[in-house]
């Protein structure tokens, strides 16, 4: 019975577990019947009771048969849960109750998970409420159990699924703290990390993820160790957490583990779509970390520390692409370049080099693009070290790029060379010299030659040979140019039979060839360096128009021969030696010594280069080939025109004139070609300084243009041709001027004005004519020419000097009014302040000469108000204003300018005799005004008041004359002395002549007279003292009207001494 009871209890547990785990449907009544009759109630048990051995021990029981798992729907879960609850009420054993409660909690959690998809976010908590409550009850009542981690984990999961993240985090925290060795430890830490990361607590998240890593490191030495399924994701999220914390070094090392893991999976064939997405995201975040640190240097540093990895190229590529998306084009290019530099022998090196070029292209850095294309062509040249070691697919990639890059480099350098040559030909200041221009062309030729070497079987080889000839020609490599031209013209006749003898339009030129596109075609090398078939179906590769300039190449070869002929040495003259026997021996190109009177030939060979004669022979052969292969060429006039231009560019002016004459004398020549013939001839005559012939040629060129004034040719060339036409006339004037025929030169310059008034040089010609007319003193004509120039070109730089020259011419003709107007113009507009000042003063003088006092007066006022320096000119202007106002009777303005005269002198740091004189003059005039005021005061009744006024006026007058005398000018010093004596003498006289009081007795009148004499006597004495000063000056030889007046005054005051006529000076 004890065994049966024990078995019944354990059987119930087994049934419950089986029903939960394997999905058998348990019906409540059957469950009870089984408990009573010991029958198996699970539908999955196919054995009967009779099959069970009823021995005394459980160990003797056979192993249970476990049927396959079956899916249980929600309704079945409800039935199972109800059964568990009924069983719980019938079982009193605590252990069995706890097991049933755990199963019940698991069912409720699973039930909630089933309902989750249909529940809203707001009702999610209620869905999981029963499961959460059951687990919490179990944990609270079973705290003594050591396997409660199995309760904490589903509880945390229930909290997380219900949306209660704080509770979930708290439960996970308790699990990892209380059960560090739990089987749920890694998952719990990972869930903690997710919650913390989501809450932006990156420090705590990093710690959680790192704990998983540390646990794995701790256990990996165990024999039965199996890495956590969360380990890779833990490294991934640990890296993200450290990235968020800006700990990029640690983040990168975590991501490296992720990459290593997925690399191994990819090799083993276990990669999945989700793993690929995580892998791509890992590369992306690593690229961000690299971009936040030192870019490509960070990648290199990481790889140096962890050793090389098979995914190193992805690290560089992701960072380069990231920079590219952010439009950091230089940084992107630098990353790709770093890969190429670090792995120069990598099969991916050309691809990364191409991506570097693409980055520079996207950023529009043409110089860098060209430099990298040059490096690409150098690093991966056909037959180079890399090429030899490369596989076929890599060679194909390289070949496709070299075909384009070498051609682009050649065309670029060709274009640069042409521009440099144009600058040099135009004579601009910063133009490159001839050596630099030649070097540009040599660079282009080098790339054309490299293209020909790399693609010897390409269909467009004739074109490349032709361009090679062009560049060699411009680089003065004429022999190489001839070889290239002739190869282009005659080297591919067997391949292009259809072009032989055909009439070609010739409408392509070098620029058109430079603008054409290329693509890989037949002739690119295979791995065995054999010509490959044409790849006409390659994307972006269209069939090129066949090269159609064979005759042009042939003719260009002739021009190149001309250059060789012009530069080759003269033929060596064969010496004729006289022998001892009287005969002669021709010794061609040998070194001759005389030994013992006999002719001896040196055995040393003398190297020689082809001379003119040799090149002439070669040219003849080439010309015959041209005639043979291009019999139907109908471009005689265009060729003549081009030849004339070429000869002109080559500075072969006589031949230019000859070819141009052939062209212009031909019938039915198109206007543009006719124009080119005349303009070429005119340019050549100009270069030869044959200016009358050049004038004629330019005139004819203008007539050719005027055949169609609406044409683009007219619009483009008329003005330059007109300018050259005018210049040819002007040069004739220069020649006459150099010959000393200035007036003739002036007439020729004026012919430029008449014949080409709209030319650029017309201004110069008119100005130069005016200068020569001035030199020839042709004043009237000069004035007319200068005035016209001034009106037509008011803003021209030479107009600034027009007023000065017109001033000079009008003065020479004594046309004072016109001269004054020009002087005023200079005063208003000239850039030189000193010249403006002088011009303004001169204008006043000229107005004065013209008798225009009003204009002279206003000009002087303007001058005196504008220019305080120099003081000498200022005072002269002020003095003239004084005189003008005196003639006008304007006493007030006259006295104002007298005061300004004195002030100007006193302000001046450097006085002169003239400034002192003018200041003394002004002071003297003002003193005379005070004297006149003094003299006008009469001593009548009331005497006291009048006497006071008279005395005050006397003092002011004396002070004024003293100021005048201080200037030390003899004329005004003697006047001041004489006047001060006169003031005192007149004061004494005024006292004596003053009105007497009325009603005085005779005695009183006598006493009054006596008193007046006593008052007047000191003034007479003072007057005599002043007069004596002038007397002393007279005895020293000083003579002036003031001294004469002094003697007259003394004769009245002291007749006994000074009344003698023989004593008076001046008699």
pLDDT tens-place string over residues 553-596:
888 888 898 888 888 888 776 554 445 554 444 443 433 333 33
Answer yes or no: are the C-beta atoms of 532 and 522 closer than 8 Å. Answer: yes
- What per-residue confidence (pLDDT) applies to 122? 59
Label residue 687 by pLDDT band (50, 70, 90): very high
User: Does 23 score more than 60 pLDDT?
Assistant: no
**Cα 910 to Cα 1041: distance, rounded to the nearest angstrom:** 31
**Cα 380 to Cα 452: distance, rounded to the nearest angstrom:** 16
**Cα 570 to Cα 1039: distance, rounded to the nearest angstrom:** 97
Residue 665 three-state SS: coil
pLDDT in tens, 1012-1051: 676 666 877 777 777 777 777 778 777 778 778 777 777 7
Answer yes or no: are the C-beta atoms of 798 and 767 closer than 8 Å. Answer: yes
Please report, for the chain, how many H helices and E strands are present, in that order.
46, 4
Tell how far CA 314 is from the center of its chain. Answer: 35
What pTM was estimated for this model as a whole?
0.50
| Mean pLDDT, residues 128-151 | 82
Q: What is the DSSP letter of 831?
A: S
| Mean pLDDT, residues 949-963 | 82
Least confident of 351-355, 415-419, 979-983: 979-983
- What per-residue confidence (pLDDT) applies to 116? 64
pLDDT in tens, 2-21: 434 433 444 454 444 444 43
**Cα 716 to Cα 672: distance, rounded to the nearest angstrom:** 11
Percent of the chain residues past pLDDT 70, beyond the cut: 78
**Cα 669 to Cα 655: distance, rounded to the nearest angstrom:** 20
- What per-residue confidence (pLDDT) applies to 498? 42
pLDDT in tens, 179-198: 998 888 998 989 999 999 99
Q: Which residues, at least 6 apart from 208, have a Cβ–Cβ distance to it below 8 Å?
A: 189, 190, 192, 193, 196
**Cα 632 to Cα 238: distance, rounded to the nearest angstrom:** 81
Is 822 or 518 the better-scoring residue by pLDDT? Answer: 822
- What per-residue confidence (pLDDT) applies to 388? 92
- What per-residue confidence (pLDDT) applies to 1067? 42
Burial class for 594, CB neighbours closer than 10 Å (0-12, 13-18, 19+): exposed
- What per-residue confidence (pLDDT) applies to 483? 94
User: Does 522 score more than 50 pLDDT?
Assistant: no
Is 322 or 938 the better-scoring residue by pLDDT? Answer: 322
CB atoms within 10 A of CB 417: 25
Answer yes or no: are the C-beta atoms of 825 and 803 closer than 8 Å. Answer: yes
Closest CA to 525 of 390, 705, 653, 435: 390
| Mean pLDDT, residues 321-350 | 92
The secondary structure of 133-192 as a DSSP string is HHHHHHHHH-TT-TTTHHHHHHHHHHHHHHT-HHHHHHHHHHHHHH-TT-TTHHHHHHHH
Label residue 631 by pLDDT band (50, 70, 90): low
Highest mean pLDDT among 102-106, 754-758, 811-815, 840-844: 754-758
| Rg from Cα positions in the chain | 60
Q: Which residues, at least 6 apart from 101, have a Cβ–Cβ distance to it below 8 Å?
A: 88, 134, 137, 138
Mean pLDDT of the residues in the chain: 77
Least confident of 43-57, 439-453, 751-765, 916-930: 43-57
User: Does 495 score more than 90 pLDDT?
Assistant: no
Enter the tokens of residue 476: 């003065």
pLDDT in tens, 636-676: 677 677 667 767 776 778 878 877 887 787 677 788 888 88
Q: What is the DSSP letter of 970?
A: H
**Cα 905 to Cα 325: distance, rounded to the nearest angstrom:** 80
- Omega within 30 of 0 (cis) for the link into 870: yes
| Mean pLDDT, residues 20-49 | 37
User: Does 902 score more than 90 pLDDT?
Assistant: no
Enter the tokens of residue 406: 């070498």
Highest mean pLDDT among 324-328, 958-962, 1050-1054: 324-328
**Cα 628 to Cα 41: distance, rounded to the nearest angstrom:** 113
Label residue 632 by pLDDT band (50, 70, 90): low
């Amino acid at each position: 019975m004890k065994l049966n009871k024990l078995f019944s209890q354990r059987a119930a547990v087994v049934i419950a577990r089986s029903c939960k785990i394997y999905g058998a449907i348990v019906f409540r009544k059957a469950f009870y019947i089984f408990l009573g009759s010991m029958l198996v109630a699970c539908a999955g048990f196919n054995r009967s009771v009779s099959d069970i051995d009823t021995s005394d021990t459980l160990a003797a029981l056979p192993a249970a048969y476990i049927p396959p798992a079956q899916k249980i729907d929600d309704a079945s879960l409800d039935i199972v849960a109800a059964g568990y609850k009924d069983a719980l009420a019938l079982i009193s054993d605590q252990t069995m109750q706890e097991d049933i409660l755990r199963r019940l909690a698991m069912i409720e959690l699973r039930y909630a998970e089933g309902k989750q998809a249909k529940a809203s976010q707001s009702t999610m908590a209620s869905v999981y409420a029963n499961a959460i409550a059951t687990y919490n009850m179990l944990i609270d009542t079973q705290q003594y159990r050591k396997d409660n981690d199995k309760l904490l984990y589903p509880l945390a999961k229930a909290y997380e699924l219900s949306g209660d993240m704080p509770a979930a985090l708290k439960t996970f925290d308790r699990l990892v703290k209380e059960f560090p060795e739990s089987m749920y430890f890694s998952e719990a830490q990972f869930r903690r990390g997710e919650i913390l990361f989501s809450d932006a607590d990156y420090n705590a998240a990093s710690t959680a993820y790192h704990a998983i890593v540390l646990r794995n490191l701790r256990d990996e030495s165990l024999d039965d160790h199996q890495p956590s399924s969360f380990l890779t994701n833990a490294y991934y999220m640990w890296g993200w957490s450290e990235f968020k914390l800006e700990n990029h070094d640690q983040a990168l090392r975590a991501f490296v583990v992720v990459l290593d893991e997925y690399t191994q999976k990819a090799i083993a064939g276990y990669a999945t779509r989700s793993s690929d997405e995580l892998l791509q995201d890992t590369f992306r975040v690593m690229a961000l970390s690299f971009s936040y640190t030192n870019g490509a240097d960070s990648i290199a540093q990481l790889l140096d520390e962890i050793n090389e990895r098979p995914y190193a190229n992805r690290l560089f590529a992701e960072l380069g692409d990231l920079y590219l998306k952010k439009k950091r084009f230089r940084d992107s290019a630098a990353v790709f370049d770093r890969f190429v530099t670090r792995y120069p022998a990598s099969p991916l090196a050309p691809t990364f080099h191409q991506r570097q070029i693409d980055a520079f292209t996207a950023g529009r850095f043409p110089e860098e693009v060209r430099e990298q294309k040059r490096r690409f062509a150098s690093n991966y040249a056909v037959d180079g070290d890399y090429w030899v070691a490369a596989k076929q697919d890599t060679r194909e990639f390289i070949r496709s790029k070299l075909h384009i890059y070498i051609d682009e480099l050649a065309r670029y350098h060709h274009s640069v060379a042409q521009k440099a040559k144009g600058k040099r030909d135009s004579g601009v200041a910063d133009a490159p010299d001839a050596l630099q221009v030649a070097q540009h062309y040599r660079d282009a030729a080098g790339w054309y030659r490299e293209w020909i070497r790399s693609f010897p079987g390409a269909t467009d080889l004739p074109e490349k040979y032709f361009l090679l000839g062009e560049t060699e020609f411009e680089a003065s490599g004429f022999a190489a140019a001839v070889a290239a031209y002739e190869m282009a013209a005659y080297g591919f006749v067997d391949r292009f039979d259809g072009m032989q003898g055909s009439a070609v339009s010739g409408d392509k030129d070098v620029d058109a060839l430079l603008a054409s596109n290329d693509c890989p075609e037949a002739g690119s090398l295979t791995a065995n360096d054999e010509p490959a078939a044409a790849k006409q179906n390659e994307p972006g590769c269209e069939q090129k128009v066949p090269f159609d300039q064979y005759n042009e190449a042939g003719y260009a070869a002739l021009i190149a021969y001309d250059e060789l002929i012009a530069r080759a040495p003269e033929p060596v003259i064969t010496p004729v030696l006289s022998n001892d026997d009287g005969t002669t021996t021709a010794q061609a190109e040998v070194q001759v010594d005389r030994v013992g009177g006999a002719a001896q030939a040196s055995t040393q060979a003398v190297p020689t280069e082809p001379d003119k004669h040799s090149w002439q022979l070669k040219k003849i052969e080439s010309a015959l080939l041209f005639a043979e292969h291009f019999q139907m060429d109908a471009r005689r006039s265009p060729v003549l025109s081009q030849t004339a231009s070429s000869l002109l560019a080559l500075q072969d002016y006589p031949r230019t004139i000859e070819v141009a004459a052939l062209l212009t004398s031909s019938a039915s020549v198109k206007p543009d070609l006719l124009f080119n013939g005349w303009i070429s001839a005119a340019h050549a005559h100009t270069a030869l300084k044959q200016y009358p012939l050049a004038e004629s040629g330019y005139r004819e060129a203008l007539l050719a243009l005027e055949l169609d004034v609406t044409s683009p040719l007219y619009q483009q060339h008329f003005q330059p041709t007109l300018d050259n036409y005018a210049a040819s006339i002007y040069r004739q004037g220069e020649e006459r001027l150099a010959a000393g025929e200035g007036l003739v030169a002036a007439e020729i310059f004026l012919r430029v004005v008449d014949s080409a008034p709209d030319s650029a040089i017309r201004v110069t010609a008119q100005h130069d004519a005016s200068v020569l007319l001035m030199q020839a003193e042709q004043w009237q004509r000069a004035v007319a020419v200068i005035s016209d120039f001034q009106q037509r070109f008011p803003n021209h730089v030479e107009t600034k000097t027009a007023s000065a020259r017109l001033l000079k011419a009008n003065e020479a003709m004594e046309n004072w009014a016109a001269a004054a107007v020009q002087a005023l113009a200079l005063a208003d507009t000239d850039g030189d302040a000193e010249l403006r000042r002088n011009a303004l003063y001169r204008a006043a003088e000229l107005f004065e000469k013209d008798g225009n006092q009003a204009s002279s007066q206003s000009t002087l006022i303007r001058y005196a108000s504008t220019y305080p320096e120099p003081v000498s000119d200022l005072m002269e202007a002020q003095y003239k204003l004084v005189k003008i106002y005196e003639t006008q009777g304007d006493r007030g303005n006259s006295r104002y300018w007298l005061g300004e005269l004195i002030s100007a002198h006193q302000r001046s740091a450097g006085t002169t005799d003239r400034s002192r004189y003018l200041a003394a003059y002004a002071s003297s005039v003002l003193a005379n005004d005070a004297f006149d005021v003094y003299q006008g005061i009469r001593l009548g009744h009331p005497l006291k008041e009048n006497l006071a006024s008279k005395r005050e006026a006397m003092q002011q007058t004396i002070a004024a004359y003293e100021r005048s005398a201080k200037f030390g000018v003899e004329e005004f010093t003697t006047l001041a002395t004489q006047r001060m004596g006169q003031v005192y003498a007149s004061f004494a006289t005024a006292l004596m002549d003053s009105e007497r009081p009325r009603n005085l007795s005779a005695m009183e009148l006598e006493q009054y007279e006596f008193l007046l004499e006593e008052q007047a006597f000191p003034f007479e004495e003072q007057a005599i003292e002043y007069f004596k000063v002038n007397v002393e000056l007279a005895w020293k030889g000083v003579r002036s009207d003031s001294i004469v007046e002094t003697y007259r005054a003394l004769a009245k005051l002291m007749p006994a001494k000074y009344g003698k006529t023989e004593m008076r000076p001046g008699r």
